[in-house]
């Protein structure tokens, strides 16, 4: 199963990705997690990403695309993957399509998790208290939502046009959302 998850920050993509990765026995690849791990260990990549992440902006495509291209060469993606947080704009979606065409292993589905803005903001503020992520401060949250609407939401149309889009409501309890995602994905050819 080669899958992309899309949805606003706070829609629960990370949580759902973990359950889906376990269900399909494939790796969960979160570009946000990779950037955070690099920040923590002080790598050059982490330094390049930091100012953008702190402001809630996208890290430049040149950095992000190469990081993903490299990650998709690892052996563990042989049976598929779940990409969480990538692509974040149409240019990244086009790069991903090209990478996968080269590997003769196109995406099979793009799962969109949707939730109303008010619910998203409440969840992000709640997460800020628990996880203490620097980018979960109120002004940065606002910026991340704007960036999502302006730059990321257009990929939904891109993938709908490709016939890959499946939408699932991200409101409700975690287990029910996972179950509807798995049921929607069972209709996708593997």
Structure tokens at 135: 């980018």
Beta-carbon contacts of residue 125 (< 8 Å; ≥ 6 apart): 136, 138, 141
Looking at the Cβ atoms of 62 and 173, the one nearer to ligand AMP is 62
- Whether 40 is a known active-site residue: answer no
Structure tokens at 176: 């029910």
Stretch that binds ligand AMP, among 48-56, 74-82, 95-103, 160-168 (CB under 6 A): 48-56
CB of 92 to ligand AMP, least distance (A): 6
The C-alpha angle with vertex 113 and arms to 111 and 119, in degrees rounded to 5, equals 175
- Whether 127 is a known active-site residue: answer yes
- Whether 123 is a known active-site residue: answer no
Site for ligand AMP, residues 69 to 98, rule: CB under 6 A: 85-86, 88, 92
Q: Map residues 93-132 to x or -, x wherever contact with ligand AMP holds by CB under 6 A.
A: ----------------------------------------
Q: From the candidates 127, 137, 143, 160, give the one annotated as an active-site residue.
A: 127
The C-alpha angle with vertex 77 and arms to 31 and 147, in degrees rounded to 5, equals 20
Under rule CB under 6 A, residue 21 binds ligand AMP: no
Among candidate residues 159, 175, 141, the one with its CA nearest the CA of residue 18: 175
Cα(42)–Cα(48) distance, integer angstroms: 10
The answer to the question of whether 48 is labelled as a binding residue is no
Under rule CB under 6 A, residue 53 binds ligand AMP: yes
- Whether 88 is a known active-site residue: answer yes
The answer to the question of whether 172 is labelled as a binding residue is yes
Looking at the Cβ atoms of 53 and 168, the one nearer to ligand AMP is 53
Under rule CB under 6 A, residue 64 binds ligand AMP: yes
DSSP H helical ranges for 25-161: 31-40, 44-55, 61-71, 90-102, 117-131, 138-147, 154-161
Rounded to the nearest 5°, which phi and psi values hold at 30?
-110, 115
The answer to the question of whether 42 is labelled as a binding residue is no
Binding site per annotation, positions for ATP: 10-15, 127, 172
């Amino acid at each position: 199963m080669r899958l992309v998850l899309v949805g606003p920050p706070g829609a629960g993509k990370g949580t759902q990705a973990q359950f889906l990765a376990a269900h399909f026995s494939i790796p969960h690849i979160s570009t946000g997690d990779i950037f955070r791990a690099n920040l923590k260990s002080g790598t050059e990549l982490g330094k390049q990403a930091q100012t953008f992440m702190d402001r809630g902006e996208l890290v430049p495509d040149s950095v992000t695309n190469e990081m993903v291209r490299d990650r998709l060469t690892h052996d563990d993606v042989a049976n598929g993957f779940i990409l969480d947080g990538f692509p974040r704009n149409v240019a990244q979606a086009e790069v991903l399509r090209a990478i996968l065409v080269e590997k003769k292993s196109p995406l099979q589905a793009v799962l969109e998790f949707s939730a109303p803005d008010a619910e998203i903001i409440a969840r992000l503020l709640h997460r800020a208290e628990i996880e203490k992520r620097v980018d979960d401060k109120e002004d940065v949250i606002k910026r991340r939502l704007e960036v999502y609407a302006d730059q990321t939401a257009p990929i939904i149309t891109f993938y709908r046009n490709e016939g890959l889009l499946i939408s699932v409501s991200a409101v409700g309890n975690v287990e029910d959302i996972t179950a509807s995602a798995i049921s929607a994905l069972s209709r996708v050819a593997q």
